Chains A and B, each alone.
Chain A
Amino acid sequence: MARVELKHVSKSFGSTKVIRDVSMSIEEGEFAVFVGPSGCGKSTLLRMIAGLEETSEGEIFIGGDDVTDEEPADRGVSMVFQSYALYPHMTVADNMSFGLRMAHRPKAEIKDKVGRAAKILQLEEYLERKPAQLSGGQRQRVAIGRAIVRDPKVFLFDEPLSNLDAELRVQMRVELAKLHRVLGNTMIYVTHDQTEALTMADRIVVLRSGRIEQIGTPDSLYQDPDNAFVAGFIGSPRMNFLKATAQAGGRLAVGGREVDSPVRTTLEPGRKLQLGLRPEHLDQNEGIGLEASVEFVESMGSTSFVHATLASGETIIAERRSSQPRAGDKITLHFALASARLFGDDGERIR
């Protein structure tokens, strides 16, 4: 168990900078999730913490020790790869014990640790099998087992669930969260899937183009995003962004009507803004109404998502839990002013 700290960390491949001056700390025992669109540098950052990529600038500390120039094996980290990276010629038991064997640990200790990990992960009956004889989920568990037996200070997960089918992914998500509770180690998890981030993380780090956009608890990112990028990335379906213009008297022109400004900041009349409304917040019976005509309806069973066009010509997605409108219907979408988020046209949040 250890704290992980990054101080002004940068990484360049040739002339392209993929990580730009990242500083953050991940607390002892915390489950941190790096999330962002592909190419945002989240995997690179994880691999830098693992020691698989060199750090061009800045320092990395694990448990208070500067590990910036340490070998991966000397950092006290374990990593689970997206492809599992199991040694195909070794049995499950040999795969899991490889790290301990490399460290020349006594046989009894190796057997004991592998046995315990196999028990936690329900792999006991597969110990003598080769990876090729296992299902995707079992392989995934072996990869996690290999990480557990080394008793690392920090677990690193690089998109470990993306090769599994949807059902198994949900199941493994729960198992990983449970595992974190049982083991209590610091864990860093990389994913491009915001649902995984929201459901598993103690804290989420949202990255874009090698920079941190925001760090916070799932709830704070969802409720209180710092910018339009985070607001749009967290939550599904994504937040609607409507063009708004500040009017005199603290009002906003949006979606073909005028509404009160949701923020206390005085806005210069004529300023271009974006009003962010989450689809799930547009299912009110009262509040501010926006006239819209329904284009089509995505039914999800318990709920449905209505794609509609506003008077201003903008499209908007709204959730409907009870009534189901049909395409062509005219409806009014109500929302509470407190649920709206306001952003400048540069994407910065206005509070």
Chain B
Amino acid sequence: MVSGAGKRQRLALRIAAVPMGLLALSCLYPIFFAVNNAFKTRDDYMRDRFGLATQPTLDNFVQAWTRAHLNEYFLNSVIATLGAVILLMVVSSMAGFALASLRFPYRRFLFAVILSSLMIPVQVVLVPFMRTMLALNLVNTHIGLILSYTAFFLPFSVYMMTAFYSGLPRELIEAARIDGAKLLQVWWHVMLPLGMPALVTLAILNTLSCWNDILISLLVMQKHRTLMVGISALKGQYSDQIPLFTAGIVIAAAPIVVLYILFQRRIVSGIAVGAVKG
């Protein structure tokens, strides 16, 4: 009986492996397609779209980087992402500290407002958002994009830091206060270092969101494109040059893939935290 059940279970696993494998393939194949074609010459691609590159070349990368201005776009993306992620970490850590540990009027109400803004998708507020950006002269500026990313990704970050800090013992803050630390010093010396595990996870998740964003940057950075906007524009401009286009895609995806490989474990656990608590 036992071995029969075991056999049946193994069979079930094998059957389940088939759709799983197909799913994995459907994710992996486009990556392979992009990387493979990025190394092809134009003729090589024309002759065989799906075959391996016969005369591998780096020319597409050079072209994409310089002629298609990806270098410029890349820099814009780095500035916006880095700026927003740092700002998000600082602000969410401070807000989380305040919401979790300090007593002030309307604290619960404020937290509820932040939580409810988690439920509003970007698309719904596009018009008022755009009007605000225009009124503040923030369109086409890096600062504008950094602030926009911070605004849109802040509710989740604040929520997560509040949840994290709520789990820390109150006595730590009280001990620091007795030791003579002012509020900002408590934050800097105690809360910020202790929040690092959560903050690193947040930094990674926010980097993914900011780097991959198209919608917000399309609106805010109309003159100077970010990488993702630039790549989608490539599609129109160079529709006959698929190898060039795929080289652009590889350049855009590379930093995120590297980040993913480096912090794989944290990303999974971070998403799990969001899944359970969010």
Instruction: Tell me the interface secondary structure of chain A in the complex.
Output: loop
Most A Cβ at <10 Å: residue of B180, B189, B190, B193: B180
User: Which of chain A's residues have a CB closer than 8 A to the CB of B185?
Assistant: 102
By Cβ-Cβ distance, the 7 closest A-B pairs, closest first, are A85-B171, A99-B179, A73-B180, A85-B175, A102-B180, A81-B171, A89-B193
A72 to B41, CA, bound (A): 72
Can you list 30 A-B contacts with CB-CB less than 8 angstroms, sorted by A residue number? A50-B174, A50-B178, A52-B177, A71-B177, A72-B174, A72-B178, A73-B178, A77-B178, A78-B178, A79-B175, A79-B178, A81-B171, A82-B171, A83-B169, A85-B169, A85-B171, A85-B172, A85-B175, A86-B175, A87-B172, A87-B189, A89-B193, A89-B194, A98-B176, A98-B179, A99-B178, A99-B180, A102-B179, A102-B181, A102-B185
The reply to whether the CB of A150 lies closer than 8 angstroms to some CB of chain B is yes
Quick check: is A328 within 8 A (CB to CB) of the other chain?
A: no
Query: Inside 8 A of A78's CB, which chain B residues have their CB?
Result: 178
- Closest Cβ of chain A: how far from B18's Cβ, in Å? 47
Q: Determine if A72 and B194 form an interchain contact, defined as CB atoms under 8 angstroms apart.
A: no
Interface residue ranges of A53-102 to B (CB < 8 Å): 71-73, 77-79, 81-83, 85-89, 98-99, 102
Q: Which residues of A contact B175 (CB under 8 A)?
A: 79, 81, 85-87, 146
Contacts of A83 in B (CB 8 A): 169, 171
Question: What A residues does B178 contact at CB under 8 A?
Answer: 50-52, 72-73, 77-79, 99
Q: Would you call A103 an interface residue if the criterion is a C-beta within 8 Å of the partner chain's C-beta atoms? A: yes
**Nearest Cβ in chain A — how far from B172, in angstroms?**
5
A171 to B185, CA, bound (A): 36
Chain A min CB distance to B72 (Å): 41
Interface 0/1 of B163-174, CB less than 8 Å to A: 000000101101
Contacts of B181 in A (CB 8 A): 73, 98, 102
Q: How many whole Å from A97's CB to the nearest CB in chain B?
A: 10
Residues of B within 8 A of A99 (CB): 178-180
List of B residues within 8 angstroms of A51 by Cβ: 178
Complex: chain B residue closest to A71, CB-CB: B177
Contact B179 A150 (CB under 8 A): yes
Nearest-neighbour CB distance to chain A for B195, whole angstroms, equals 10
Q: List 13 extra interface pairs beyond A73-B177, A73-B180, A81-B171, CB under 8 A.
A: A77-B178, A79-B175, A79-B178, A81-B174, A83-B171, A85-B172, A87-B175, A89-B193, A98-B189, A102-B180, A102-B185, A103-B180, A150-B179
For the complex, what is the distance from the CA of A77 to the CA of B178, rounded to whole Å?
7
From residue 180 to 206 of chain B, which have CB atoms closer than 8 A to chain A?
180-181, 185, 189-190, 193-194
Contacts of B174 in A (CB 8 A): 50, 52, 72, 79, 81, 85
Interface residues of A (CB under 8 A from B): 50-52, 71-73, 77-79, 81-83, 85-89, 98-99, 102-103, 146, 150
The count of chain B contact residues (Cβ–Cβ below 8 Å) is 16
* Distance, CA A99 to CA B169, complexed state (A): 19
Interchain pairs with CB closer than 8 A, number: 56
Residue of A nearest to B174 (CB): A52
CB distance from A180 to the nearest CB of B (A): 19
Q: How far is the CA of A99 from the CA of B177 in the complex (A)?
A: 9
Query: Which residue of chain B has its CB nearest to the CB of A94?
Result: B189
A73 to B174, CA, bound (A): 10
Which residues of chain B have C-beta atoms less than 8 A from A85's C-beta? 169, 171-172, 174-175
What chain B residues lie within 8 Å of A87 (beta carbons)? 172, 175-176, 189-190, 194
Contacts of B190 in A (CB 8 A): 87
A51-B193 Cα distance, complex, nearest whole Å: 25
- Smallest Cβ-Cβ distance to B185: which chain A residue: A102
Measured CB to CB, the nearest residue on chain B to A54 is B103
A88-B179 in contact (CB<8A):
no
Q: Which of B119-160 contact A (CB under 8 A)?
A: none
The smallest C-beta distance from A212 to any residue of chain B, in angstroms, reads 25
- Closest Cβ neighbor of A47 among chain B residues: B174
Nearest CB of A to B237, in Å: 51
Assembly CA distance A77 to B177 (angstroms)? 11
CB neighbours of A150 from chain B (8 A): 179
Q: Given the complex of chains A and B, what is the CA–CA distance between A79 and B171 in angstroms?
A: 10
Given the complex, which residues of B lie within 8 Å of A71, measured CB to CB?
A: 177
Least CB distance, B55 to chain A, in whole angstroms: 55
Q: Given the complex, which residues of B lie within 8 Å of A146, measured CB to CB?
A: 175, 179
The docked-state distance in angstroms from the alpha carbon of A199 to that of B113 is: 53
Nearest chain-B residue to A87 (Cβ)? B190
Which chain B residue has the least Cβ–Cβ distance from A81?
Answer: B171
CB distance from A53 to the nearest CB of B (A): 10
Which residue from chain A places its CB closest to the CB of B171 in the assembled complex? A85
Closest chain A residue to B173, Cβ basis: A85
A98 to B175, CA, bound (A): 10
From residue B107, how far is it (CB to closest CB) to chain A in Å?
A: 16
Residue of B nearest to A102 (CB): B180
With A and B bound together, what is the CA distance between A51 and B178 in angstroms?
8
**A98 surroundings in chain B (CB, below 8 A):** 176, 179, 181, 189
State the CA gap A71–B171 with chains docked (Å). 16
Instruction: Name the B residues within 8 Å of A88 (CB-CB).
Output: 194
In the bound assembly, the distance between CA atoms of A78 and B190 in angstroms comes to: 18
Contacts of B189 in A (CB 8 A): 87, 98
CA distance A72 to B194 in the complex (A): 22
User: From residue B38, how far is it (CB to closest CB) to chain A in Å?
Assistant: 44
Q: Which residues of A contact B193 (CB under 8 A)?
A: 89
Look across to chain A and name the residue whose beta carbon is closest to the beta carbon of B179: A99
Shortest distance between the CB of A223 and any CB in chain B (Å): 37
Chain A residues near B169 (CB-CB < 8 A): 83, 85
A249 to chain B, nearest CB (A): 60
Q: Mark out the residues of chain B between 193 and 243 whose CB falls within 8 Å of any chain A CB in the assembled complex.
A: 193-194
